[in-house]
């Protein structure tokens, strides 16, 4: 199998992994904060798989006589017109992956903003509860129809 075919297969796998990573990232924008950890863990596992694919790609490039050119192509450094015809499909595949990475990066900043907003809201609720007198908190936490605990008439000493 030639180098271009090997790289295209690995880049296709990498693109599929990034597509799943993107889906998990989109879920993180909308899911309940209780399950965010699950999706963060799933994204971490995908990142490890992507790293393994990157290692395979680097190994293929290291064994090729045009190693420097291949590494430049994988970083999208040359102009498309400067890329030899045999490596143009590789360049195009790398461009698609970079587009996914840029999209995911934008989503990550939105997720961080969401987490900060939720944290600030929780802090505000804690401060509000802290400043509420204890008797008010006690009465608002009682279940309707339930005895008023220590405040019922039957519990008061005459």
Query: Cα 55 vs. chain centroid, distance in angstroms?
Result: 22
Q: How far apart are CA 13 and CA 7, in angstroms?
A: 10
Q: Which two tokens stand for residue 70?
A: 């291949």
Q: CA separation (Å) from 8 to 15, 46, 55, 59, 76?
A: 10, 19, 14, 14, 15
DSSP 78-115: S-GGGS-GGGHHHHHHHHHHHHHHHHHHHHHHHHHHHH
| DSSP code at position 153 | G
User: Could you read off the pLDDT of 104-156 as tens digits, one per residue?
Assistant: 999 999 988 988 888 888 888 877 777 666 666 666 776 665 555 555 555 54
Of 76, 94, 80, the C-alpha closest to 10 is 94
User: Could you read off the pLDDT of 31-84 as tens digits, one per residue?
Assistant: 887 888 899 999 999 999 999 999 999 999 999 999 999 999 999 998 889 999
Q: How far apart are CA 145 and CA 107, in angstroms?
A: 47
Q: Where in the sequence is the domain holding 97, given as residue range(s)? A: 3-155
Based on the structure, what is the number of domains in the chain? Answer: 1
| DSSP code at position 143 | P
């Amino acid at each position: 199998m030639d180098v271009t075919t090997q790289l295209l297969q690995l880049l296709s796998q990498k693109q599929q992994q990034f597509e799943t990573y993107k889906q998990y990232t989109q879920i993180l924008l909308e899911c309940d904060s209780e399950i965010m950890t699950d999706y963060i863990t799933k994204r971490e596992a995908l990142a490890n798989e992507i790293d393994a694919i990157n290692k395979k790609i680097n190994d293929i490039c290291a064994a090729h006589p045009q190693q420097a050119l291949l590494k430049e192509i994988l970083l999208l450094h040359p102009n498309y017109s400067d890329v030899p015809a045999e490596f143009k499909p590789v360049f195009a595949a790398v461009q698609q992956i970079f587009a996914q990475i840029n999209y995911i990066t934008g989503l990550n900043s939105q997720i961080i903003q969401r987490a900060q907003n939720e944290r600030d809201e929780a802090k505000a609720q804690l401060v509000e509860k802290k400043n509420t007198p204890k008797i008010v908190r006690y009465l608002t936490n009682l279940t309707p129809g339930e005895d008023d605990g220590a405040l019922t008439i039957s519990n008061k000493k005459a």
